[in-house]
Structures are given as structure tokens and as C-alpha cells.
Amino acid sequence: MIYLIGGTPRVGKSTLSSLILERNNISVLSTDVIRNLIDFSPTKVGIKDLPVKEKPEAFFPYFLQLLKILQNKYTDYIIERATKNFIPEIIEVINKGYQVGYKENGPISKPHFSDTYIEDIESSKIRVFVAQEGTRVVGSVQYEDRDGVAYLSQMTVDPDFRKRGIGSILLQTAENSARDEGFKIVQLIAMLEKGLPDYYEKLGYKKVGIKENPKHVLVVMEKSVQLIHTSELDIRL
């Protein structure tokens, strides 16, 4: 959240905030919009006629629902943080996704689940986000802290739901979560033979090295998710 104080109306505070958020790939919802939603909420909800001090608290549940709608406004899929109830479906969609290559005639690899995989999700050592169509999990992404870097792995989309933008939405969700936790860098490993480095480059990742592997070329890639400071922006209001 960016909250700017001071200055007369119409001097560009909202414009400045929007520019900063958009440059950091964060959705924008101005306080003016929220205030209008509160002031002009349906009478039947009962918020409009409440005392001013009570309006925000009464409106909050509706505001959360609005944010969820906005988060998914470009897709028919719901993206959310996975709980332990999702674990069987997460494992199923990862296994299914790894059986079908992302590139025609590309290699097939196997996912890796550690002996403590379930416990690590339950304890939030591994943070997992899922994409759902209705109640069906159709994709997932996960990351964990590795030496102060958010290490992303096993991003998978059900083969029946690929090329619909689900992967990029999952990736952005994980990046935003990592940023909120204080991480500055997201790192991942992309197999060259699958054509994955090109995919991640389009989403802002840069090649920083090669990991030793006797069978495949594994490209180490990173992306900065650190917020851009206002001093780094060339802004003309």
C-alpha cells in the first residue's frame, strides 16, 4: 500500500502512486474508488447510513471480496495460497504435468518430493499457490527460502489447461508473495531442452549461470522483485 499525505487536491498524488505500483507490476486501487464504494454502497447492505467512523469496519468484508474479484479479473481461475487440504491435488497435478513436455519432442523429467514435502507445506517452509477452475486444481507453483533468496520450483500447469496464461499468473502471485515477505530476488532452474529459459526471459528473468547436470543443461535464472524507489523513476506529472 502507498499512502501519500499532503498537497492540495489534483496535484498528482494518485498518479504518482499508480506509476510506482504499475512499474512494480502491482495492481492499483485508489482510495477514491474505495471511498465511493463505501459512500454509494447499496442501502440494503446497511453501510451507507452508518456513522462515518463505523463505515470502514462494516465495509471490510465486502472489500476483501472485491480484492479477490480484482485479483482474478483477467482469468476464470482462482489463485490462492494452498492449505494442507490441497496437498493431494498439488502432488497429482505436478505428476501429471511432468509427464507431458512443454515443448514438442522435448524431454520428460520427474518431479522431486522430499521426505518432508507435506510437512514443509503444512509448516509454510514451502509456500504453495494453486490455480483452480471451480474446485479443480489445474496448476501450482511453490517457493522456499534458500540463503535469503526465494527459490521457485516445480511450477506446473495441467496439460489440458496450458497456453491460457495460468503459468504467468501463478508466477506473478509467487513473486508478489516473496516481495511481501521481504525477498529481493526470486531464483529458479530452467531446463534448456524444454525451452523453458526463453519462457522465463519473457517474464523478466535473466540467466545468471549453468548448473552441472550430466543429462541436461540447467539454466539458473533470477528476477529482482525489489520495489522500485521513487528516485529511480523518471516521472513527469
Domain count along the chain: 2
- Is the CB of residue 40 less than 8 Å from the CB of residue 52? no
Predicted confidence at residue 237, as pLDDT, reads 40
3-state secondary structure of 147: coil
State percent of the chain over pLDDT 70.
70
One domain for residues 142 and 39: no
Quote the pLDDT of residue 187. Answer: 97
* pTM for the structure as a whole: 0.66
pLDDT at 29 exceeding the cut of 90 = no
CATH number (domain holding residue 141): 3.40.630.30
Single out the residue in 71, 101, 120 at which a domain terminates.
Answer: 71
Distance CA(194)–CA(186), nearest Å, equals 20
- For residues 149 and 104, the model is more confident at 149
Structural domain contains residue 171: yes
Query: Do 33 and 96 belong to one domain?
Result: no
Do 118 and 167 fall into the same domain?
Answer: yes
pLDDT in tens, 202-222: 999 999 999 888 888 999 999
In a domain, 1, yes or no: no
**Are residues 160 and 61 part of one domain?**
no
**53 located within any domain:** yes
All residues at 6 or more sequence positions from 166 whose CB lies less than 8 Å from its CB, including other chains? 75, 77, 131, 138, 139, 157
Q: Is the pLDDT of residue 227 over 70?
A: no
The residue segments making up the domain with residue 194 are: 78-224
Query: Do 145 and 55 share a structural domain?
Result: no
d(CA 211, CA 102): 21
Average pLDDT of the segment spanning 146-163: 94
At 214, give phi and psi (nearest 5°). -70, -20
Give 184-206 pLDDT, tens digit per residue.
999 999 999 888 999 999 999 99
Beta-carbon count within 10 A of 95 CB: 13
* Same domain as 106, residue 52: no
pLDDT of residue 169 exceeding 70, the answer is: yes
Instruction: Specify if 3 maps to a domain.
Output: no
Domain boundary among 71, 91, 107: 71
- The answer on pLDDT for 31 being more than 80 is no
Let me know if residue 158 belongs to a domain: yes
Quick one: average pLDDT of 68-79? 63
